[in-house]
Structure 1
């Protein structure tokens, strides 16, 4: 594990505004505008983007044009685009569009999973198995990301213990044997504290660390802990952090959980520890400003309110 005094040299940033952020906006955004936002993120040096979700357009109308958006970036071979898929049908659509990284979500909390996808945790894991089986039959390499929602707190059940996360993760790992897997511990409500994040990562890494498993953290800033939680996650084994430009978005199925951690705030903090992200912060702020102007979006960012001459 990393010493508290020796942070890692690099961290991957996954920009989630085009999925987690855009889907929080009720008013339909024009496809061309979404494409412009994604391009601005790419221009800043971001190399991993959760570009959208292959879900029913009736369930999330904002994602109805995901195929067109993915097609617009088909020639960006150096990028890692991922997409959320709720089931095998969504996975097949994503793979057919050229997506090489699938994201599947299951909640640790039974109550939240029922609210989010209207089925039990075990039923969701059955869905994960169908996708894992599909990926094993793929001729081309496809990465799988498992987002474990409500790893620290549930809006219905309260605090979540690491042992509860361990139970779900253990089942998921058995399902995904032989597949390159990244597991994200998600602070769905933003209630986690840095020490809880450190404890969960430490305990779960003791149980599950292996060369084929990578760790990520997805936090919200509802209680102002987003950046601190992310830094503690990095110090305790996470090599990937999710964040959203301008803090756009949140979880529509978790009451009160508004506001992703702002990517620009997180990048600034990482740079202070000499941790490389590959992102040009001034250029990223240009992208964040554009995303903050989207009609109907809820944003929150500290760095965007600082005079630019002090940032640059």
Structure 2
């Protein structure tokens, strides 16, 4: 009987300050956002998607991103990333001190048009513009990450075959030649199953496996598969996992897809396999309570409702 050996370490990318806060309609006080982010840092999270540099008209919740980034400047050991929708957003993020840029392209044409009002080809052209800017700057400490939305399922087109993901990833790699890239396969609707996750990572790693390419997984827990999918992703090549403390957020353009995978649920599973995450689960649960108390948010966490003396 074979034993499934867990990896020694996994990067946890906390996305509540961007994907989570963005899901709340009414703007939150900046001080409340800062308090929540500090609680996440205090829990030991070192990779945090802190927000997005988008037009305040498009997403009012992100209007204070500059102030938030400035507050957390010069934090040794922290990796703050920000979503950027275009070259202008990338330039603003870099000027604000962000050294990790996140760019999103949906594999599904219809979802990409709904999400960013562009064709997939146009989005890839935008990615190429950002990559060219990074080459011009020659800054080797800037990281680029590509989130491939609807990598498993689309709310408009249904199940996504791994070959569709492969075609978009081919275009993205052509656009970013010479730049190290982290690629996140995103289960936008939460409808992926562990076996589909395993197939996608296995097939795509066979096609694109090389040292300059790193892999991540971003899951939702809409169908209760969030933690299972993340574990299958790790055992098939992912070295980073996205999650949102308290399970805050989801995709506003994917009907029914509320609820990111809760960071605390994922950490509990990983710690059960002695996987190092650097996260203090008790302090993370304190942060989860703080986030769950924000007005207007939708949260979905299992561990937060377990008596605290039963956790650990």
Normalising by the smaller structure, the TM-score range is over 0.9
Q: Corresponding residue for 1:237? A: 237
Q: Corresponding residue for 1:273? A: 273
Matched, 1:195 2:201: no
Matched, 1:31 2:30: yes
Q: Any runs of at least 4 consecutive aligned residues in structure 1 with deviations exceeding 2 A, and if so which?
A: none
Secondary structure in 2 aligned to 1:250? Answer: coil
Q: Whole-Å Cα distance in 1 between the matches of residues 44 and 301 of structure 2? A: 19
Q: Whole-Å Cα distance in 2 between the matches of residues 65 and 254 of structure 1? A: 25
TM-score normalised to structure 2 length: 0.98
Count of residue pairs the alignment pairs up: 310
Change (3 A) 1:4 1:12: farther
Q: Corresponding residue for 1:130? A: 129
Residue 27 of structure 1 deviates from its aligned partner by 1.2
Residue 4 of structure 1 deviates from its aligned partner by 6.3
Q: Corresponding residue for 1:311? A: 311
TM-score normalised to structure 1 length: 0.98
Q: Whole-Å Cα distance in 2 between the matches of residues 122 and 21 of structure 1? A: 28
Residues 218-264 of structure 1 show CA distances to partners (whole Å, capped at 9, x for unaligned) of: 00000000000000000000000000000000000111111000000
Matched, 1:264 2:264: yes
Residue 158 of structure 1 deviates from its aligned partner by 0.2
Q: Whole-Å Cα distance in 1 between the matches of residues 50 and 76 of structure 2? A: 14
Residues 246-283 of structure 1 show CA distances to partners (whole Å, capped at 9, x for unaligned) of: 00000001111110000000000001111110000001
Secondary structure in 2 aligned to 1:126? Answer: helix
Q: Corresponding residue for 2:88? A: 89
Does the CA-based 8 Å contact 1:265-1:301 persist in structure 2?
yes
Residue 78 of structure 1 deviates from its aligned partner by 1.3
Q: Corresponding residue for 1:177? A: 177
Does the CA-based 8 Å contact 1:4-1:235 persist in structure 2?
no
Residue 75 of structure 1 deviates from its aligned partner by 2.0
Q: Whole-Å Cα distance in 2 between the matches of residues 50 and 137 of structure 1? A: 25
Q: Whole-Å Cα distance in 2 between the matches of residues 216 and 26 of structure 1? A: 28
Matched, 1:15 2:8: no
CA RMSD of aligned residues (A): 0.9
Q: Whole-Å Cα distance in 2 between the matches of residues 278 and 138 of structure 1? A: 33
Q: Corresponding residue for 1:222? A: 222
Residue 5 of structure 1 deviates from its aligned partner by 1.6
Secondary structure in 2 aligned to 1:135? Answer: helix
Secondary structure in 2 aligned to 1:137? Answer: helix
Residue 6 of structure 1 deviates from its aligned partner by 1.6
Matched, 1:106 2:102: no
Residue 26 of structure 1 deviates from its aligned partner by 0.6
Matched, 1:157 2:157: yes
Structure 1 gap ranges (5+) = none
Q: Whole-Å Cα distance in 2 between the matches of residues 170 and 311 of structure 1? A: 43
